[in-house]
Amino acid sequence: MKNFRIYKLLVFLIILVISSCGSDDEVIYVSPSGTQLVQASFTYSISATDPNVILLNNTTQGSGEFKSEWNFGMGDELVLDQPGLEELRLNGAGSYTIKLYVTNAAGFTEASETVRVDEDGVCPSNICGGIDPSSLKGAAVGFSVGTIVRDNRLTGMHDEVIRRDFNNITSEYQMKMDVMYPSQGTYDFGPADAIVDYGVANGIDVHGHALIWHNSTPDWVENFAGTDAEFEDMIRDYIRTVLERYKGKVRSWDVVNEAIADGSNELRFDDSVFRRRMGADYIEKCFQMARDVDPDVLLFYNDYNMASDSGKRAAMFAIADRLKALNLIDGIGAQLHISYNGPARSEIQAVVDGTVSRNLLMHFAELDIRTNPEENSSVTALSSERALLQKDKYKELAEIYTDIPTANKFAFTVWGLKDNESWLLDFWGVPDFPLLFDSNFDPKPAYQGVIEGFQ
């Protein structure tokens, strides 16, 4: 008798644990004898003749008698399941949670599915208009969504968020010359390999950034001891070594980054050892070197302030035209480090229009949107008002990008994952909140803005 009570208590506890651990989709009751178990389940398909109708298929299996009842998620009474497929018409746009309750001698079990409907009818695989709003990459149709990475930020939450939301990665600084080629004849590919391997292992495209950048030149290159011809050979060798190593693994490269001088819109001279040593056509030379090594990898020219500065934009398109005439360039990267209040939509559109009219790929390459750009600002937190203005601006960028012809789309890349990791904090020395996730990896309104803009 005592044993029987303990047995009953144990069964009660098991029922309690199992039912409280189950997800919303799954409530399991077992009989005290452990027999007559049954688990509710169903699938659905969209009717071939009416896009607003789904056909419910009760796939519950179990021994003995059981009763199946539907809750169609429209506030109705429970409806007894009929033999064969059950037809259900879902009229208005929205989400419907359909539940199936199955009862037998052991108790009842339940299964549920949420079905989305838009103006065209039921959304196949819950993706409306081709848009899957549950992630950034899901919402982006026909192009990639990128973020930046470091080799020591590829695990834990970084890894989870990258794999959930992004299908393109750019190394923030570890695939630049000063890291990969620290001294003549000695390469350090450790961090770059880790990043590229991560991309390959996870099916995420890798965008190489950046082969030639005046701001990431190692000292030995700045002070190169040989002749100009030897300098050029050294650069050819460097480009060959890097591109061969990552052939088939890196999909695209920024070959030259930020070649245009602020103010004059001429090529940088004093601060570019490449321009000084290789001549006014050094950009064409570098692109040619890259093309010769890997004709399949996509080659980009990347620069900043292309929207806000029409003079710089013209200078950049002049570079692109020279490269295009030689068939050496595939796309343009517009960095887009911008603010919540500018540049204007029309200025951003002008970058897109110039790129599309040249039949080049458009990379929105280094997106971040400052919320605290005012000089001498004492702001230390993100107000809800600024968060919404930032959302609007991200949405605007996403809309502009989405409207680009498919053949010219490439990637929409945000320069950082979460606010407290942005380069802008050090650069401006004031608090800011420029990215899509807050410091806890929680999506901000800006994240929603991008999803909305992609639709």
Binding mask 122-161 for ligand 9MR (x = CB under 6 A): ----------------------------------------
Q: Which of residues 404-423 bind ligand 9MR (CB under 6 A)?
A: 423
- Of 288 and 335, CB closest to ligand 9MR: 335
Pattern of binders to ligand 9MR over 241-260, x per CB under 6 A? ----------------x---
User: Which CB atom, from 216 or from 308, has the smaller least distance to ligand 9MR?
Assistant: 216
Query: Residue 122 or 206: which CB sits closer to ligand 9MR?
Result: 206
CA distance 286 to 246: 17
Q: Which of residues 357-376 bind ligand 9MR (CB under 6 A)?
A: 366
Q: Which is nearer to ligand 9MR, 257 or 402 (CB)?
A: 257
* Residue 216 contacts ligand 9MR per CB under 6 A: yes
Report CA dihedral (272, 195, 167, 319) to the nearest 10 degrees: 10
Q: How many residues bind ligand 9MR (CB under 6 A)?
A: 8
Kindly give, in sequence order, each residue whose CB lies less than 8 Å from that of residue 97, ignoring residues fewer than 6 positions away.
73, 112, 113, 114, 115
Contact with ligand 9MR (CB under 6 A) among 172, 232, 284, 432: 172
Annotated active-site residue in 110, 113, 172, 258: 258
What does 97-137 look like in DSSP terms, one character per residue?
EEEEEEEETTEEEEEEEEEEEETTEEPGGG-BTTB-TTSHH
Helices 345-357, 310-325: axis angle to 10 degrees equals: 10
Which of 289, 264, 262, 263 shows the shortest CA–CA distance to 274?
289
Q: Which amino acid would we find at residue 193?
A: D
Q: Considering the complex, what minimum distance in angstroms separates the CB of residue 304 from ligand 9MR? A: 6
Nearer to ligand 9MR, 209 or 386 (CB): 209
- By the 8 A CB rule, do 367 and 418 touch? no
Instruction: Count CA within 13 A, CB hemisphere, residue 402.
Output: 20
Residue 209 Cβ, how far from ligand 9MR at the closest point, in Å? 6
Looking at the Cβ atoms of 165 and 366, the one nearer to ligand 9MR is 366
- In the window 316-345, what residues touch ligand 9MR (CB under 6 A)? 335
Per the listing, tokens 């688990």 go with 39
Q: Which long-range contacts (CB under 8 A, 24 or more apart) does 320-328 make?
A: 320/355, 320/358, 320/360, 321/358, 322/283, 322/284, 323/283, 323/284, 323/287, 324/358, 324/360, 326/284, 326/287, 326/288, 328/284, 328/287, 328/288, 328/291, 328/299
| Near ligand 9MR by CB under 6 A: residue from 173, 187, 220, 428 | 173
Is 428 a binding residue for ligand 9MR by CB under 6 A? The answer is no
Query: Could you tell me the two tokens for 183?
Result: 């001294």
User: Angle between the 384-402 and 345-357 helix axes, to the nearest 10 degrees?
Assistant: 20
Specify the residue for token string 């709003």: 133
Rounded least distance, CB 257 to ligand 9MR, Å: 6
User: Which is nearer to ligand 9MR, 70 or 410 (by Cβ)?
Assistant: 410
Taking the C-alpha atoms of residue 312 and residue 289, their distance in angstroms, rounded to an integer, is 25
Q: Which stretch binds ligand 9MR (CB under 6 A): 172-180, 319-327, 351-359, 437-445?
A: 172-180
366 included as an active-site residue: yes
Instruction: Tell me which stretch binds ligand 9MR (CB under 6 A): 18-26, 90-98, 171-179, 447-455.
Output: 171-179
Handedness of CA 414, 419, 425, 428 (dihedral sign): positive
Task: Write down the least CB distance from residue 423 to ligand 9MR, Å.
Answer: 3
The least distance separating ligand 9MR from the CB of residue 258, rounded to whole angstroms, comes to 6
**Rounded distance between C-alpha atoms, residue 389 and residue 398, angstroms:** 14
For the bound state, the minimum distance from the C-beta of residue 12 to ligand 9MR, rounded and expressed in Å, comes to 58
* Contact window for ligand 9MR (CB under 6 A) among 170-178, 191-199, 237-245, 447-455: 170-178
Among 176, 251, 393, 409, binds ligand 9MR (CB under 6 A): 176
Q: Which of 366, 374, 421, 452 is catalytic?
A: 366
388 DSSP 8-state letter: H
Assign residue 318 a region: left if phi > 0, alpha if psi is -120 to 50, beta otherwise? alpha
CB-wise, 112 or 335, nearer to ligand 9MR?
Answer: 335
Residue for token digits 């001498």? 376
For the chain, the first-to-last Cα distance in angstroms comes to 66
Can 113 be counted among the known catalytic residues?
no
Catalytic residues: 258, 366
Binding site for ligand 9MR (CB under 6 A): 172-173, 176, 216, 257, 335, 366, 423
